[in-house]
Structures are given as structure tokens and as C-alpha cells.
Amino acid sequence: MDIHKLKLFLSLASTGHFGRAAAQCHVSPSTMSRNLQQLEQELGAALMDRNNRSVALTEAGHRFLQFARETLQQWETFQDSILADAHTLRGQLSIYCSVTASYSFLYEILAEFRTRHPGINIKLHTGDPAQAIERVTGGYEDIAIAARPSTLPAEINFKAIASSPLRFIGPKDSSLLPAADGEHWQTLPMIISEEGLARERFNQWCQLEGIAPNIYAEVKGNEAIVSMVSLGFGVGLVPHIVLENSPLKDRVALLADQPDLGPFDTGICVLEKRLKSPIVSALWAEVQ
């Protein structure tokens, strides 16, 4: 199996679009289309349903996607082991984290790592922290900085970095800021995460307190929540570390009444089997 073909297929499956996948892989859309056709001919099965705008995996496509991810990971682990024998680590390491985590934690992690392993190229993706563990288990990233979920997948290794409380914030100098208790919580327009640990804790707290929340907006990414709150759209729930590092922190304020929603533990996570890769293992060991 051609490793390059597998990489093109994974990109197409991830983006669901010929044009975006082609741009990501630095090839033409026609090359991307031809690669898919060749794979389907070799396998004797349709891997994707497509139209002029997008593609979607067939049942066979989903099975081949898992095969492609595992094969690529095994290939990269083998390459890394060969390079390790030469006492010089070279290759690529994919990392996923939120924007806040990229300058709150990642800088310190990579500072010494970069000095020790200049031959390793870092591929960094930023996005919603709620998707971090899924990105790792799905084979899209080698390592991610994530919030520790209530239940950690068995195949995931997690190493804690920091702990931060969850805090309710409102726009500064606003009528939303007085103590929010009883019925007042139900009248507040809430801006919260679509998914992830903060949303899970919020839902549990509302259920425990018998609160029917007035959800104004569901947002991907904690930084966007701070932004919307600063504009006066409502009250938001974010980890305190996000607030501390936000350029908009002076435009928001903590609500006087802060329920205890439990800690927001942050750390790095990796598939246990990926620690066989000397490159992945080297970064994992960097985090104390």
C-alpha cells in the first residue's frame, strides 16, 4: 500500500472536500480525485459518496479509514525507530491544543524540546479543547493538550499539567453582575461551550440545583465565550486560566456568587501505543 495515497485519503476524509484536502496536501483537486479512484479500484469497493461540493465515507470507507490511520501510525513509528538508532530524532510531530494552551503551556513544553531535538518538525493545530482527546483517539494528532474528562478512554495516557476552577463571568459594569442566585440564574442569558468538560459540569450543576438555564449561545472554544461576554451578550462559563490570559479580561468581571463546579484539570494526552514512537515518547518525557 502506497503511504502517500493513505495520507491523501486521510486528508480527504478529514475535510470532506476535494478542494480543501488538495490545498492541505499541496496537490491539485484532480490528483486527489484520481488517488481516490485508484484506491477504490485496488480495493474493489466504493470508499466515498461524492458530489460537486463534498464527499462522505461509505461503510467500506469507514473501515478503510481505520486501516489507513493504523497503518500510517505503524509506518511512522517504524521510521522513528530507525532514526532513533542513528541517535538523532528526525521527523514530524502533530500537536493539538486551544489557543490559550498554545501560549499558556505549549511554549514551556517546546522550549527545551526544540533545543534537544532540532530535527523534529512540529505541526500545530489549534481549536476547541473539547475535541482534543477525540483528535488523538481518531489518529489525527500525535499528542494533544486537553481537559481531563470524567471518564478517560482506556487507550489514552494522560499527564496533568495544571488545574484551574471554572468561573462564571459577565460584562463589566453590567446589571448581569449582581449575585446570581435562585430564580436570577434562570433569567441570565448564558453563553457556554457546545460540548466538553465545562458543558458537562454546567449541565450537572443545573440539574442538581433545579435550574432551567436560559442559553443564549453555544460556542466552540473558550476564547470566543470571553469575547461574546465582553460585548454584553450574556454570562459565560470558562476556566479561570482562560480568563487570566485573555486580552479582554479587563472588559469582563467575575460574578459575585460562584458555585463550585469542580476543577478543570489540564494535561497532555496520547494514545498509549503511540508511545512506542521515539519522537512521541521524547515529547511525553519532556512534561514533568
Contacts of 156 (CB under 8 A, 6+ apart): 133, 136, 137, 269, 270, 271, 272
Mean pLDDT of 25-51: 88
Mean pLDDT of 19-43: 86
Per-residue pLDDT of 63-74, as tens digits, reads 999 888 888 878
- Cell numbers 521510521: residue: 79
Amino acid identity of residue 36, one-letter, is L
Task: Spell out the domains of the chain, with CATH numbers in brackets.
Answer: 1-87 (1.10.10.10), 164-261 (3.40.190.10)
Q: What is the pTM (predicted TM-score) of this model?
A: 0.68
C-alpha distances out from residue 176 to 189, 193, 217, 260, Å: 9, 19, 16, 19
- Report whether pLDDT(76) > 80: no
- Report whether pLDDT(236) > 90: yes
User: Across the chain, what does the average pLDDT equal?
Assistant: 86
Task: Note the Cα 266 to chain centre separation in Å.
Answer: 12
Query: Looking at residue 5, what is its pLDDT?
Result: 86
Query: Looking at residue 179, what is its pLDDT?
Result: 53
- Report whether pLDDT(87) > 70: no
